[in-house]
C-alpha cells in the first residue's frame, strides 16, 4: 500500500501546528510512515501554503480523510465539511448541485468505521451508520460509576430526611449538561416552607454534581396549580431571562448519549435534546421544538420514544430551577408564583 501520497502527507504533517498533529493517534502516524516510499523526496513545498500548491488527488483524499476523522471539532463541523466534499464531487462529475442526504452522509462515514477501530477512537464517531448502539448498557447514563454516585446521593438523602425523601427517577438534560435527580416525599401534606428546607438539604448533599427537584405530585401537595402550568412556564421564561445556566461534570457524557440516541432514531445530530429518561428497559428522548407532540418510536436496537416539547417552556423551567438553587428556595415555590 506504499505510495508517494504518504510521503507528501508526512511532509505536510511535519509542518503543521502541534495542536493538529497531536490529534492523530500514534497508530496512524506509524501507518503513514510504513506506507511511504523509501528514499523518495516529496514534491510538497514548505515555503508556500497548501492552497497555492497542486497536490495530487490521492494526497488531497488523505487530507480530507483526516478532516473527517480527527480534525473536525464537532459533528456539525464534520457534516459541513462532508457537504463541501459532496458538492465538489458533483461538480467534478458534471452533475447538477444537490444537497447531501442523511443516507449519503452515513455511507461516507461508514467508509471510515474500520479506521475508528484500527487506529484509535474518532471523536464523536457515534454518527456513523455502523456505530449505532447495540444495547443501552453502552450509554453513559447506564455507566456503573454514575449509577453508584446516584445511589450514594439517594441513600444520604433518605437518611438525612428520616426516610421521608426517596429517589424516584433521574433524567439527563443534554442541552444544558445536567442530570436531574427527582425525589418523592412520603407525606400526605407539605408546605412550601418545608419544600424549601427539603430541597436545600438535597442540594447540600448533591453539591454541584446534580440538580434536584421533586415529582409533580409532591408540588401538588404544596398547592401548585398545574392547570395553568404551561402559562406559568412562559411567565418564568420572561421573568428569569437573565438567569445564567451552567453545565456539570456529566455534560460530555450525556451529550454523547444524546448524539447516539438521535442516530438510533435516524434524526439529525443537530437536534437540541432537552431530556433523556430511562424507563426500565425503554428510553424517552425529548427534543426542543414549538409544542408538545410525538415525533417517532423505534424498537431496535433499543426501544426509544422521541417526542417534542416547547423550547420556551423548558427554558423557563430550567432557569427557574437555577434561580431556586441560587436563592435557596424550592422550585415548587416558583411554580406556584410564590416568588417574583
The arithmetic mean of pLDDT across residues 181-208, rounded, is 95
Amino acid 210: pLDDT: 97
pLDDT tier, 134 (very low <50, low <70, confident <90, very high otherwise): confident
Q: Is the pLDDT of residue 131 over 60?
A: no
Q: Which of 85, 88, 92, 46 is nearest to 65 (CA)?
A: 85
Angle among Cα 137, 141, 142 to the nearest 5 degrees reads 35
Residue 176 has pLDDT above 90, yes or no: yes
Q: List strands edge to edge, sheet with 211-214.
A: 211-214, 178-185, 165-173, 273-279, 282-289, 303-310, 293-298
What's the pLDDT at 128? 59
Banded pLDDT at 127 (limits 50, 70, 90): low
Q: Which grid coordinates belong to 109?
A: 462515514
- pLDDT at site 221: 93
| 8 Å CB contact between 163 and 185 | no
Structure confidence at residue 130 (pLDDT): 44
Task: Please give the pLDDT value at position 21.
Answer: 87
pLDDT mean over 196-214: 96
Average pLDDT of the residues in 103-123? 79
| 96 pLDDT more than 60 | yes
Task: Count other Cβ atoms within 10 Å, centred on residue 334.
Answer: 26
Q: What is the pLDDT of residues 260-317, one digit of tens each?
A: 899 888 888 789 999 999 988 899 999 999 989 999 999 888 999 999 999 999 999 9
Q: Which residues contact 98 (CB under 8 A, 6 or more apart)?
A: 90
Residue 248 has pLDDT above 80, yes or no: yes
Q: Say whether pLDDT at 1 is over 80.
A: no
Residue 100 has what pLDDT? Answer: 86
- Give pLDDT tens digits for 32-75: 999 999 988 888 887 777 777 788 889 889 999 999 889 988 77
Confidence at 121, pLDDT banded by 50, 70, 90: confident
pLDDT above 70: residue 129: no
Average pLDDT, rounded, for the chain? 89
Q: Among the listed ranges 22-31, 248-257, 261-270, which one has the minimum average pLDDT value?
A: 261-270
In the chain, domain spans: 4-130, 132-340
Mean pLDDT of 229-257: 93
pLDDT score at 285: 97
Q: What is the pTM of this model?
A: 0.64
Of 86, 117, 78, nearest to 268 by C-alpha is: 78
Close Cβ partners of 326 (under 8 Å, ≥ 6 residues apart): 243
Q: Which of 4-18, 65-79, 131-145, 159-173 has the highest mean pLDDT?
A: 159-173
More confidently predicted of 340 and 56: 56
Q: Indicate the SS3 state at residue 123.
A: coil
Amino acid at each position: 500500500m506504499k505510495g508517494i501520497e504518504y510521503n507528501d502527507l508526512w511532509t505536510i504533517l511535519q509542518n503543521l501546528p502541534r495542536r493538529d498533529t497531536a490529534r492523530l493517534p500514534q497508530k496512524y502516524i506509524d501507518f503513514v510512515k510504513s506506507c511511504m516510499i523509501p528514499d523518495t523526496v516529496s514534491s510538497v513545498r514548505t515555503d508556500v501554503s497548501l492552497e497555492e500548491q497542486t497536490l495530487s488527488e490521492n494526497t488531497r483524499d488523505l487530507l480530507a480523510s483526516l478532516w473527517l476523522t480527527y480534525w473536525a471539532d464537532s459533528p456539525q463541523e464534520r457534516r459541513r465539511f462532508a457537504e463541501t466534499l459532496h458538492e465538489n464531487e458533483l461538480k467534478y462529475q458534471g452533475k447538477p448541485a444537490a444537497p447531501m442526504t442523511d443516507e449519503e452522509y452515513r455511507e461516507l462515514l461508514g467508509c471510515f468505521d474500520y479506521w475508528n477501530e484500527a487506529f484509535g477512537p474518532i471523536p464523536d464517531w457515534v454518527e456513523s451508520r455502523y456505530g449505532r448502539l447495540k444495547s443501552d448498557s453502552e450509554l453513559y447514563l447506564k455507566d456503573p460509576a454514575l449509577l453508584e454516585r446516584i445511589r450514594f446521593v439517594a441513600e444520604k438523602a433518605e437518611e438525612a430526611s428520616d426516610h421521608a425523601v426517596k429517589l424516584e427517577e433521574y433524567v439527563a438534560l443534554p442541552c444544558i449538561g445536567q442530570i436531574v435527580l427527582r425525589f418523592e416525599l412520603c407525606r400526605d401534606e407539605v408546605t412550601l416552607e418545608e419544600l424549601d428546607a427539603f430541597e436545600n438539604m438535597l442540594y447540600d448533599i448533591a453539591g454541584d454534581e446534580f440538580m434536584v427537584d421533586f415529582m409533580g405530585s409532591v408540588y401538588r401537595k404544596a398547592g401548585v396549580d398545574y392547570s395553568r402550568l404551561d402559562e406559568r412556564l412562559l411567565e418564568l421564561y420572561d421573568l428569569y431571562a437573565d438567569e445564567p445556566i451552567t453545565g456539570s461534570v456529566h455534560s460530555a457524557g450525556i451529550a454523547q448519549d444524546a448524539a447516539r440516541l438521535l442516530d438510533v432514531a435516524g434524526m439529525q445530530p443537530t437536534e437540541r435534546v432537552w431530556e433523556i429518561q430511562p424507563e426500565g428497559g425503554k428510553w424517552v428522548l425529548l427534543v426542543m421544538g414549538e409544542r408538545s407532540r410525538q415525533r417517532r418510536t423505534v424498537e431496535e436496537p433499543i426501544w426509544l420514544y422521541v417526542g417534542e416539547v416547547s423550547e420556551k417552556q423548558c427554558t423557563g423551567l430550567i432557569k427557574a430551577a437555577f434561580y431556586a438553587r441560587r436563592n435557596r428556595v424550592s422550585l415548587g415555590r416558583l411554580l406556584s408564583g410564590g416568588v417574583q
